[in-house]
Structure formats: structure tokens, C-alpha cells
A and B are shown apart, each in its own frame.
Chain A
């Protein structure tokens, strides 16, 4: 099982070594642009602390989770659609001695690696800018990987069902963008209308944001995090990943076999 998964991941990494330049903007520059413009620019007008952080320190861990989330959404969008509907790459992989589970797990593993690289670059720049007080912020990178997994797996199931690429744009505008903007990254979820809050609290991104922010507080201010806090959020993220993976397998079995 593991060997096949690693081979698939290595296939994706080999491709990515050639094509990573095309993702420079979305993976590396866009989060830093938001950090500068919203965190430092608009943040200079936020007078009070937000949940005990200065605004830019409130924003940065949230943006880290967004980086992972958007990387996952990007990979689970057109690249996956193309691989199953246009180039038949998945179908061709399956003619090798690989199981469907291995092909999927390998692709997901590659996505978590991509998220880790983007997150690490973001952390390093934020630490250099003094937004994170301590290099311990690099410990947030594994959290970003879990967020990417929890977002990619259910989106895989969605993309696998599509028969036209037109709906991909709609997903990115109706799901990815609103979640990125309203999951407590830019302002606390409590400021949203009460009716929307429960919806946001389900999303993997919100759990990722809470986790990153809680841990960054623990690393920088030594405020400590309760084990139940960690276990709760991590549990929801892993649940999303597991349910998404199972659903994707189901959808693939039904649609990819014919």
C-alpha cells in the first residue's frame, strides 16, 4: 500500500519540479500580499487588540491556514478534473499495479507536501518581518498539512463527480472565496450574523485557523493550549479528511470504472 502511494506522490512531485513557477503567485506571493495590505496596511487602523493579539499577529496564523486551504482547493480543482476527464491520467495510472486508494492517497500526499512548502515560506517571511515572535512558528507547518488534507479530500469527491469544467470556477467563487474570507481569518467569527456562524464552524478552514492561532499564541506568548482544544480541532480536521477520502473512493468506483 505505502510503496504504491509514495510512487504516485513522487510522480506528482516530478511534474511539480517543472511547473512550480506557475504557482509562485497563488502559493507564495498572494498570502504575503494579504499580510502586507490587510495585516500591516489596514491593520494599522485597528486600535484595540483582537482576541489578545495585535491585528497583524491575529491575521498571520489565519492566513497560514488559508494558504494550505487554497493550495488544496487549487489542486483539487482543474488539475484533478484534467487528470480524470481530459488526459485520463488517473485511468492510465490504474492500468499499472496500483489500487485506486493508492492513486488517490498519493495525490493527496503530494498536496500536503505542496501545502507544507507554501506554509513554510510564509512562516519564514512572517518571522523575518517580525510578525511571528519566534521561529517556533515553523511548527505550524504540520498543522497546515492537516488543513490541506481535510480540505482536499472532500473537494476531490466533488470534482470527481463533475462532467464539465465550467462548475469548477463556480466552486472557487461560491465555496473557496467565501470560506477564505469569513472563516475567522480577517475578523472573529463572532462578528458574523448568528445564523451563519454554525455553518462556518463546520468548515475545515475554521478549525485550521483556530488551531494555528491557538498554537501561535502558545509559541509566542506562552499562553499554553489545552489538550482538549488541540484534540477537538485536530479531530474534526481528520474526520473531514477521512470522510472526504471515503466519499472520493465511492464516487470514483461509480464514475471512473465506466
Chain B
């Protein structure tokens, strides 16, 4: 039966991954800043630049300015891109360089390893989301304090994508496979009801887009950032939670197989 002492030790061992990430990346902040710039530039160009041409859009019966429509979508994108680097390229490198074999010679379990890497990715995602939220506010796109509620929403998006992309990375066989990652990231970023409202698609297209994880995340942040909590909001939360659990369980199972002997 687990006691507080063993739970503490588990937490400590997983926490080591966060510490490792911090130590290794303490000089990487220029890279961090330039990665953050990407969603900010998209927000400036597509949101504010095109916003002058478009004016207002009607989404789910609500009229809003185009930049207010795009901003939560770019926040969701920042939450995703903040974790995807750590859980794809970087995670794959650690897997193939056999770093984990050494770790597992210590009392560390594979579950703790997966949890630790997820925690580190989440921290990265959290920093990106918060920094993006600050830029949003600086651009005058944070209408009220409700916008702070978007942060836990962004963390949930980060968690779901971290878990799933970790699981996906365990299936990668060579570096070239990651080309797919950047392709799908861009397609997802552009097509998930981010740059234009879902209603623009024909009926069948809407049905497909509704099922995509980024659409769920974007809609969640659109709700949270204005404090509109409905049953739909709960639906988005459940979708992302299910995705997190499924991704984590699969990642752990795959890691068990890859690293067990």
C-alpha cells in the first residue's frame, strides 16, 4: 500500500526531469523568445492586419472583432507548440540516444519517467501560453480579467497534446518521420476554426473539424477567455482530458515495451 513517503519519492523522481530541463535550457532563452514570436507574429498579421480588412465576424451568433476571434486560437496554438518540441524531437533524441536506459538503472519507474517528461513539457507549454497571454493583453486583446481563466485551459491543451505526441513519438522509426509533425501542425493550426469561423465550411467539413483536438482546444479558450461557461465548455474539457489519459496510457505502454529490457 503506497504511503506518503513513497508518493513523495515518486514525485521527487518525476520532478528530476523538470530540474534537468531547467538546467539544460538555462542558456536557451533567445531560442525561447524567437519561438514565442511565431504566434505573436501570426496574431499581428492575420488578426490585426487582416482584421482591418475583415472588421467583424459572427461566431455562434455572437459578433466580435476579427482579432478577438483569432487571439484565443493563437493562444491555443502557442500552448501546443510549447509542448510539441519537447515531446517530439527532443524526446525522440533521448529515446534513440539511450539516455533512458541509464535512468532506468536507478529506482525510477517507466510511469515516473513518462510523468516527469510530461511535467517538463507542461512547464514549457505553460511559460509559452503565459507569455503569449501577456502579449495579447499588451495588444489590447484581453477584454476582461476572465482572460486569466484561459491559462488553465491552455495548460489542459498542453497536457493533451504532450501526452498524445509522446505516444506518437514512440512509433517514429527515423528522423524523417518528423516531417509529418510539422506538416500536420501547420494544417491543424490553419484549419481548426482558427483563421476563419467553422461556419465557413460545408456541413461535412464542419463535422470533421469539430472532431479535431485543436478545434476543441480553441473553442474551450474562446469560451473561457470571455467567461462563458456552458455544457459545450464541459464537453471540450472532457474531450481534452480523455485525450490526455489515452495518450499517457499508450505512451507508458509503448515505453514499457521499448525500454523494458
Residues of A within 8 A of B (CB): 22, 25, 29-30, 33-34, 37-38, 41-42, 44-48, 50, 55, 166, 169-170, 173-174, 177-178, 181-182, 186-187, 191-192
Alpha-carbon gap, A48 to B54, bound state (A): 9
Q: Are B183 and A25 in contact, CB atoms less than 8 angstroms apart? A: yes
Contact with A along B12-55 (1 / 0, CB 8 A): 00000000000000000011001101100110111001101111
Residues of B within 8 A of A (CB): 30-31, 34-35, 37-38, 41-42, 44-46, 49-50, 52-55, 57, 66, 176, 179, 182-183, 186-187, 190-191, 195-196, 200
Q: Are A173 and B200 in contact, CB atoms less than 8 angstroms apart? A: no
Q: Are B34 and A182 in contact, CB atoms less than 8 angstroms apart? A: no
User: In the complex, what's the smallest C-beta–C-beta distance from B65 to chain A, in angstroms?
Assistant: 12
Using Cβ atoms and an 8 Å threshold, which residues of chain B touch A187?
Answer: 45, 49-50, 52-53
Alpha-carbon gap, A178 to B37, bound state (A): 9
Q: Are A41 and B195 in contact, CB atoms less than 8 angstroms apart? A: yes
Q: Which residue of B lies closest to A181 (CB)?
A: B45
Q: Are A44 and B196 in contact, CB atoms less than 8 angstroms apart? A: yes
Q: Are B54 and A42 in contact, CB atoms less than 8 angstroms apart? A: yes
Main secondary structure of the interface of B (DSSP, over half): helix
Using Cβ atoms and an 8 Å threshold, which residues of chain A touch B37?
Answer: 173-174, 177-178
Alpha-carbon gap, A42 to B200, bound state (A): 9
Using Cβ atoms and an 8 Å threshold, which residues of chain A touch B196?
Answer: 37, 41-42, 44-45
Q: Which residue of B lies closest to A45 (CB)?
A: B54
Q: Are B44 and A50 in contact, CB atoms less than 8 angstroms apart? A: no
Using Cβ atoms and an 8 Å threshold, which residues of chain B touch A38?
Answer: 46, 50, 190, 195
Most buried by A among B45, B46, B52, B182: B45
Alpha-carbon gap, A47 to B50, bound state (A): 12
Identify A182's interface contact among B49, B52, B195, CB under 8 A. B49
Main secondary structure of the interface of A (DSSP, over half): helix
Given contacts A37-B191, A38-B195, contact A174 B34 (CB under 8 A): yes
Using Cβ atoms and an 8 Å threshold, which residues of chain A touch B30?
Answer: 170
Using Cβ atoms and an 8 Å threshold, which residues of chain B touch A44?
Answer: 196, 200
Q: Are A42 and B50 in contact, CB atoms less than 8 angstroms apart? A: yes
Given contacts A41-B196, A44-B200, A186-B49, contact A169 B42 (CB under 8 A): no
Alpha-carbon gap, A174 to B35, bound state (A): 9
Q: A42-B195, A46-B50, A192-B49 are in contact. List 4 more A-B contacts (CB 8 A).
A: A38-B50, A47-B55, A181-B42, A182-B44
Alpha-carbon gap, A64 to B259, bound state (A): 48
Given contacts A181-B42, A181-B44, contact A169 B179 (CB under 8 A): no
Using Cβ atoms and an 8 Å threshold, which residues of chain B touch A29?
Answer: 183
Alpha-carbon gap, A94 to B200, bound state (A): 56
Using Cβ atoms and an 8 Å threshold, which residues of chain A touch B187?
Answer: 33
User: In the complex, what's the smallest C-beta–C-beta distance from B212 to chain A, in angstroms?
Assistant: 14
User: In the complex, what's the smallest C-beta–C-beta distance from A9 to chain B, in angstroms?
Assistant: 26
Using Cβ atoms and an 8 Å threshold, which residues of chain A touch B49?
Answer: 181-182, 186-187, 191-192
Q: Are B186 and A33 in contact, CB atoms less than 8 angstroms apart? A: yes
Q: Are B54 and A191 in contact, CB atoms less than 8 angstroms apart? A: no
Given contacts A37-B190, A37-B196, A55-B53, contact A45 B66 (CB under 8 A): yes
Q: Are A173 and B57 in contact, CB atoms less than 8 angstroms apart? A: no
Using Cβ atoms and an 8 Å threshold, which residues of chain B touch A37?
Answer: 190-191, 195-196
